[in-house]
Amino acid sequence: MKKIIATFAVSFALTGSALTTTALAQAKIQVGCTATSDCASAMVAVDEGIFKKHGLEVEMTPIGINSNIPAAILSNSIQIGGPTSTVFLQAVDGGLDLVAIAGASVMNPVSNGNITAFVRNGITIKEPKDFAGKKVGAPGLNAFLHVLFVKWLVEKGVDPKSVNFVEVTFPTMSDIIKSGGVDAVLTAEPFVTRMTNAGLGSVGARYAVELARTDPIIFYAASREWADKNAVAIKKFRDAIAESAEIVNNDREKASASISKFTKQPIELVKMTPPNRSVPELKPEQLGWWIEVMSSQKMLQSKLEPNKLVLK
């Protein structure tokens, strides 16, 4: 949490001043997400002109590490971000006044299989306890993949403190695995297939499959101040996301094209893996499991109330 607050402070200082009414009312909305398929509904809404159809000017902004998204929102570098459930909850717990405005992606039996702990050549992982003593890269400490992996380790009787976790962005995973900078990375498709095809290693665990959850992965969030002053824009945003979610879930060609464009992944590689299921509606109770898991991992200092975290 100290890292999130520190990052926010640096980002905020760079802006030179607090948010102004003019900035809040700007016509163009920047939506920030990491290089995964979780924000595919926003990607498709941009590429297919759905945002424009609903009267919005929207641009997608790539964010290297998910845990940087809350700071980017509060500094007004972006107005809407796609934080993982865990990053959002920890940011709010740390005092950042954020609110969830729409759903993006959820775990499901198909997409859970895309999540893996990918192990480099020369490292043998046969069972969960083999991760003890290993250096494992995560695309954001305390972000979705990291928290989920820690939950899996605990359920398997492995002390998470025995694992050395470091941050590694999705685009740099192949290079750091190849160089031996880490023993494994917590990743997802299409990066798993890309590294496998390059002969860099193999899947050590499909931990999300074993946990078998259906909770939110990523949702769209904004500062509460921006949300309060832009109710009309948020209504339009939600309508556009609901329309584009249908394309994400049912039109592989269009969804893959948008994901490839934003993530800079080869279209052939993206097409090999269905995007995470897009569910535009987000209910407060859907955050309950995450709050329970994070509290058990001592990641939350306060008792969060889900009803206050999701914009009605």
**What's the pLDDT tens digit per position in 195-219?**
999 999 999 999 999 999 999 999 9
The pLDDT value recorded for residue 87 is 93
304 and 239 part of one domain: yes
247 and 267 part of one domain: yes
168 and 206 part of one domain: yes
The pLDDT value recorded for residue 27 is 64
The pLDDT value recorded for residue 62 is 95
Confidence check: pLDDT of 24 > 70:
no
Please give the backbone phi and psi of residue 183, each rounded to the nearest 5 degrees, phi first: -85, -25
Mean of pLDDT values over 92-108: 96
User: Which pLDDT band holds residue 100 (cuts at 50, 70, 90)?
Assistant: very high
CA distances from 127 to 113, 164, 200, 221, 304 (A): 17, 17, 20, 37, 35
131 and 85 part of one domain: no
Mean of pLDDT values over 87-114: 94
Which of 186, 211, 236 is the endpoint of a domain?
A: 211
Strands 80-81 and 201-205: unpaired
The pLDDT value recorded for residue 13 is 42
194 and 226 part of one domain: no
**Residue 173 has which token pair?**
């995973």
* Amino acid at the residue 195: M
**Residue 176 has which token pair?**
């750091």
Mean of pLDDT values over 50-78: 95
**What's the pLDDT tens digit per position in 225-267?**
999 999 999 999 999 999 999 999 999 999 999 999 999 989 9
Strands 28-33 and 80-81: parallel
220 and 290 part of one domain: yes
206 and 227 part of one domain: no
Confidence check: pLDDT of 12 > 80:
no
Instruction: Quote the mean pLDDT of the chain.
Output: 90
238 and 92 part of one domain: yes
The pLDDT value recorded for residue 244 is 98
42 and 23 part of one domain: yes
> What CATH number does the domain containing 167 carry?
3.40.190.10
User: Which pLDDT band holds residue 144 (cuts at 50, 70, 90)?
Assistant: confident
Which of 158, 184, 211 is the endpoint of a domain?
A: 211
Q: Which domain holds residue 200?
A: 110-211
88 and 155 part of one domain: no
Closest to 87 in 3D by CA, of 6, 7, 144: 144
> What is the Cα–Cα distance from 121 to 124, expressed in whole angstroms?
8
Number of domains forming the structure of the chain: 2
13 and 65 part of one domain: yes
The pLDDT value recorded for residue 93 is 96
> What is the Cα–Cα distance from 299 to 31, expressed in whole angstroms?
26
* Amino acid at the residue 75: S
99 and 220 part of one domain: yes
Which of 193, 211, 229 is the endpoint of a domain?
A: 211
Confidence check: pLDDT of 80 > 80:
yes
Q: Which residues contact 34 (CB under 8 A, 6 or more apart)?
A: 62, 63, 64, 65, 66, 69, 82, 139, 140, 169, 170
